[in-house]
Structure 1
Amino acid sequence: MTELSGGAALPQERRVVTAIPGPKSLELQARRLNAVAGGVGSVLPVFTTRAGGGVIEDVDGNSLIDFGSGIAVTSVGASAEAVVRRASAQLADFTHTCFMVTPYEGYVEVCEQLAELTPGDHAKKSALFNSGAEAVENAVKIARAYTKRQAVVVFDHGYHGRTNLTMALTAKNMPYKHGFGPFAPEVYRVPVAYGYRWPTGPENCGPEAAAQAIDQITKQVGAENVAAIIIEPVLGEGGFIEPAKGFLPAIVKFANDNGIVFVADEIQSGFCRTGQWFACEDEGIVPDLITTAKGIAGGLPLAAVTGRAEIMDAAHPGGLGGTYGGNPVACAGALGAIETMRELDLNAKAKRIEEVMKGRLAAMQEKFGIIGDIRGRGAMIAIELVKDPVTKEPNPEAAGALAKACHAEGVLVLTCGTYGNVLRFLPPLVIGEDLLNEGLDIIEAGFAKL
């Protein structure tokens, strides 16, 4: 199977011809260390020349199986035909005018698509930005303008970005917040329904965690002071935590009852990643505002806040925007990505990836006691590694060692989690099943070596 990649066929195969990273990558890494700020890290310093379908090709001629999708971005592949076609045509017409100076149809069309695809049949409007953090930050601005309140409630293990406000919203200190304070005020953190680690067991987690969160908000903040409650329907960087059933509906009801804007941060989980257009659909959640980025535009920088028209219109004219927000080339890419998702039924593909991965991972869990939990939905799957399945003590060393072993064999995997002990799998939704299984073979061999 080959992937049309910028007009050239990219063989869909794993190929390891040098050590990883190879000599040319090491040469480029030396140049990078001289020129690029040290604070910008890389999971694996192999330098990419081409990518598409389920593979990444590097400067040394290695072809790696991609279980990362650039952190859930290239869901349609890193060079999807419709994205390349539409973005190339737009590049030839104009690269930029600034929508706030002279607008263009692509921006409007993306907003129309978002109104159609996001949950709920109410009137919706959108505003477009460049990054997920920008989208979250603007969702807070909009919620504050609408409610005339200031407090924002977020959750344990949540991740929302790297700007000052979104660092405040993010739970994890290293590497996101350490040394970068002081942070924006009026941010309050409450418990989330982390079933695997809930003291009274996953079966009690949803209602108990919701009751705890609501109690804390009521006592410590006051519901009447809260502008927005923000949560990822599947928590990303925090470890692909699916809040236990019943938790999200209870939080939404509390928000609705108290005039609080409920914001679903779908930046990592949106656009077919979990086998639904948006992860919040799983329990029938209809958010007031929804933030999107990552998978929206096939790898081009674009983000959005979409929500109830009356909330979105609360900000005064000129209060939202940014020079590059809704760039015309990125909008064209988004329309190409959405076209691809519809045509290839990538929700069905994500569900099939889940079926294959969870089946294989469950078999591994029976063999290897360090796999404490398997979780996630669609092509957003994770395993949590522990030192002991009874105590559930986190095992970040094993996660790091396993990732390293996979990288050496030509499979790109990512780690995450508050404790650094979670391996997360985010393959492109267009990956071939043969590549998917080959990648899982290598993960299994890595466990056997551990």
Structure 2
Amino acid sequence: MNGVQDDPGHGRPGAPDRPGRPGAAGARDTRSQEWLLGTADAGSEDALSGSRPPGSAAAPERPSTRTVWESAGSRGPGPRRGAADPVKALMHRHRALCEQAVDPLEIAAGLEAHGVTDRTAARFRHRDVFSLAEELYARVPRDGDRPPRPEPAPAPRARADWVLLTLLPGAVGAAVAVGVRLTEGRPRLLTAAAGVLVLALAAGLALRGGPLAVPGRAVARPAVTGTRVWTCWLLAYALFGNGLLRTVLDGGPDGLPTGAAHGPWPVATAPVLALVLACAPAAWSTHLFTAAARRRLAASRGLAEFAGAVQPLLLGTFALYLGVLTTLLAVCGAALGESAGYPEALTLGALLLLARLLAVHRLPQGPALALAAAAEAAAVGLVLAGRLPGCAFLASPVDALAQAWGAGAVPALACGTAALALLFRATRTLTRAPAHASTGEPQ
């Protein structure tokens, strides 16, 4: 009736839908999606396929999606597809780091130390390493019975003991300089020898504690010994090197240095005294940089923000130290009536400060010191080798440099090149979070 063709079973109560009808197709699609997502309950196959005709054989039971995935995972790791979790494998790989971290920034620093960059984080669907670290920190479970994690190490504070120790080398150096000036002949030699020993002990005490202290097991023992040897050589050359080079270029030396500034073998007391007095500014500059960097580490929201804040801080601290050293050179030169030797003293002071700053943060610095010391020794050696028959050309580069810029140009060039290399390394390593995550014993 009404133009509608009568169809057996159409609209009858209890009549099953036939394939191809909208109601049946919608039900099949819904149940299929539930089965694929693993949400279908028991008997979903019957609901999906409809009522089986009487007497038909039961279809074999199809395993659930969870069972299939678990059996696939038991065969070994393999690439996941579709709606897989790309962060889960990384979380298992760095589980110890994520469980022991006190904040996401510590996880980000650890990931960066393992070579994970922002480009790598993009493969895990994150814009940068810090965003990836935040998800890892949030997803790693933590036991409620576990004791609370310790707070990050606070910024070190200035203490009276290491402040006085950093002033000790300068006080001993000033006393030795006065003693050498007031004595003559053999007493002067004995005063200088005793003063060097006491000065070495005072410098060792100043470097064992406070901001300039190197962590206990930061570097191997041979590396520490080599660094000390190169440092002693550089300081000895600052005291005797320029006078020796002038004497060798003039055909000498004819004897040992007398300790006088205007003798046949001049001794540069003012630059060395200024460098010894600069031990205290070096410690205070290092303390200022370390404390400010730790505050930035606690307040930064990402690695790029931390690097952007620490790099100008590093350069500003370095410039502040050079300014103080320049003032000390001027004062010592005027007090002793000698040349301040600004180029060679400033480059040597910069080299020693950067080397110590890197050592405090467990970064190698010995090769730069060795390079500067070898360059200074090579300059004197080439001049001496030029005295051999037919080898005068060996001394020509050093002679030309000394004639144009003075004998101080040799240590200035050697120490300046090494200092630039260390400054470049410092701006790349000391502006990263791993360098400040733990800097050794509390100060």
Question: TM-score when scaled to structure 2?
Answer: 0.24
**Structure with the greater alpha carbon radius of gyration:** 2
Per residue, is there more strand in 1 or in 2? 1
Greater RCO, 1 or 2 (C-alpha within 8 Å, sep 6+): 1
